[in-house]
């Protein structure tokens, strides 16, 4: 499963101004940083890459999580990073928002609209794909039958009343960025404005994988126009911190279905002075790595197999507030 494997020191490039985020200087704790789409500092402390060891990490297990992924199939299966339905603004009350997030709905819909012939996804790279649609009635059933989501306390939550449904659009976070999809929009007495949406994409178009793999340790990656280079974004020490600045390396493994990237903090060239107090600040850093072949439809993951969003070249705004995304 390891496929082509290479190990090298990748060139460090400046990605963004220092961000005032808590993270120990030269921190070597393992664990994910902010989940994709989340804001740094909202309860998840960015952790720097772990320290390099004599033996490089074995990335075969990470690749094995995605061993059966059909990367060459057109249209490619959807690797969704959101648990559907996606909690959104647009509710008249907080209890109604929680009910929708908990999949607790009271569907009082008298008439369901016709199902479209196809459902469309528009991707950040400007392309569009067509997929088998999901009927409106099946979308309501999918929400009702999904069960409570992870990390949400749904005990004693009263249902939100849904009285209408119409065809429109919605957005969905995927491993290839935020997509705009044909969607079913719900209306009701506790829903404001244009309502709340659920993708009108049939369930068989999504690739099923363990929920814990939705949030990888890498913030995002950006693929070059030729598909043969990936720039990985992660949180590390500031580049202008003098003795407190750490350097990093990338370890890459490839298979026909996935590319796994592990990051490591390199040992300092000289022992750091003991009388220097390092500021608890993390900066967005990057490492650019080369691949044996074009990325194509392969999934990019971290050393645990956690999904990393892939953005088209030039689509990541590293100067923007919050976590880079596309």
Q: Is the pLDDT of residue 12 over 70?
A: no
Judge contact between 244 and 237, C-beta under 8 A. yes
Residue 49 belongs to what domain range? Answer: 1-75+210-326
Confidence grade of residue 322 (pLDDT, cut at 50, 70, 90): low
Question: How distant is the alpha carbon of residue 21 from its chain centre?
Answer: 20
Residue 263 has pLDDT above 80, yes or no: yes
Residues 218 and 199 in one domain: no
| Domain finish residue from 205, 226, 249 | 205
Residues 215 and 200 in one domain: no
Q: The whole model's pTM is what? A: 0.79
Q: Is residue 80 part of a domain?
A: no
pLDDT at 37 over 60: no
Partners of 169 in the beta sheet?
182
The three-state secondary structure class of 158 is coil
Residue 46: the pLDDT is: 62
Confidence band of 215 (pLDDT split at 50, 70, 90): confident
What's the pLDDT at 90? 64
Q: Is 81 left (phi over 0), alpha (psi -120 to 50) or beta?
A: alpha
112 & 180 share domain: yes
Average pLDDT estimate for 65-88 = 87
Residue 87 belongs to some domain of the structure = no
pLDDT of residue 22: 24
DSSP letter at 137? H
Same domain (yes/no): 70, 216: yes
Amino acid 194: pLDDT: 61
Domain-located, residue 84: no
89 assigned to some structural domain:
no
Q: Answer yes or no: is 236 within a domain.
A: yes
**Is 311 found in the same domain as 216?**
yes
**Is it the case that residue 2 has pLDDT exceeding 80?**
no
Predicted local distance difference test score (pLDDT) of residue 60:
94
269-306: pLDDT as tens digits? 777 677 778 878 888 899 999 999 999 999 999 999 99
Q: Do residues 24 and 99 both lie within one domain?
A: no
Q: Which of 153, 186, 205 is the last residue of a domain?
A: 205
Q: Is the pLDDT of residue 95 over 70?
A: yes
pLDDT at 15: 29
240-250: average pLDDT: 88
Name the average pLDDT for the chain. Answer: 80
Does a structural domain hold residue 85?
no
| Domain stops at, among 205, 235, 251 | 205
Please check whether residues 192 and 167 belong to one and the same domain. yes
pLDDT score of 33: 32
Shared domain check, 183 and 158: yes
Residues 111 and 141 in one domain: yes
The per-residue pLDDT for 253 is 96
Instruction: Give the C-alpha separation, 123 to 171, whole Å.
Output: 10
Whether residue 185 sits in one domain with residue 138: yes
Is the domain of 259 the same as that of 181?
no
The predicted pLDDT at position 320 comes to: 61
The predicted pLDDT at position 32 comes to: 31
Q: What is the pLDDT of residue 305?
A: 96
Looking at the 3D structure of the chain, how many domains does it have? 2
Are the C-beta atoms of 209 and 125 separated by less than 8 Å?
no
Q: What average pLDDT does the segment 171-176 reach?
A: 93
pLDDT at 20: 28
* Residue 88, domain member (yes or no): no
pLDDT recorded at residue 188: 86
Contact yes or no for 123/131 (Cβ under 8 A): no
Do 289 and 246 fall into the same domain? yes
Determine, yes or no, domain membership for 278: yes
Least confident of 72-86, 147-161, 224-238: 147-161
């Amino acid at each position: 499963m390891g496929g082509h494997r290479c190990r090298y020191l990748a060139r460090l490039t400046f990605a963004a101004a220092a961000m005032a985020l808590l993270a120990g200087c030269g921190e070597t704790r393992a664990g994910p940083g902010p989940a994709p789409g989340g804001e740094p500092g909202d309860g998840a402390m960015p952790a720097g890459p772990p320290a390099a060891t004599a033996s490089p990490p074995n990335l075969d297990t990470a690749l094995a999580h995605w061993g059966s992924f059909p990367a060459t199939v057109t249209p490619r299966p959807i690797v969704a990073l959101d648990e559907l339905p996606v909690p959104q603004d647009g509710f008249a009350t907080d209890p109604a928002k929680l009910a929708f997030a908990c999949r607790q709905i009271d569907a009082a819909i008298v008439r369901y609209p016709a199902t479209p012939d196809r459902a469309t996804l528009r991707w950040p790279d400007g392309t569009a794909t067509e997929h088998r649609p999901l009927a409106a009635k099946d979308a309501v059933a999918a929400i009702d039958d999904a069960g409570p989501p992870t990390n949400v306390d749904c005990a004693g939550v009263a249902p939100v009343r849904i009285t209408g449904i119409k065809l429109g659009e919605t957005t969905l976070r995927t491993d290839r960025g935020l997509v705009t999809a044909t969607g079913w929009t719900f209306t009701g007495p506790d829903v404001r404005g244009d309502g709340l949406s659920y993708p009108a994409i049939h369930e068989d178009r999504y690739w099923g994988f363990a929920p814990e793999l939705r949030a990888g340790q890498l913030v995002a990656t950006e693929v070059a126009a030729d598909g043969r280079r990936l720039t990985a974004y992660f949180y590390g020490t500031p580049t202008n911190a003098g003795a407190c600045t750490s350097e990093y390396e990338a370890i890459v493994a490839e298979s026909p279905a996935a590319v796994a990237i592990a990051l490591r903090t390199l040992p300092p060239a000289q022992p750091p002075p003991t009388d220097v107090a390092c500021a608890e600040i993390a900066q967005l850093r990057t490492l650019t790595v080369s691949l044996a072949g074009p990325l194509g439809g392969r999934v990019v993951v971290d050393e645990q197999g956690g999904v990393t969003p892939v953005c088209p070249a030039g689509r990541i705004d590293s100067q923007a507030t919050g976590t880079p995304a596309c």
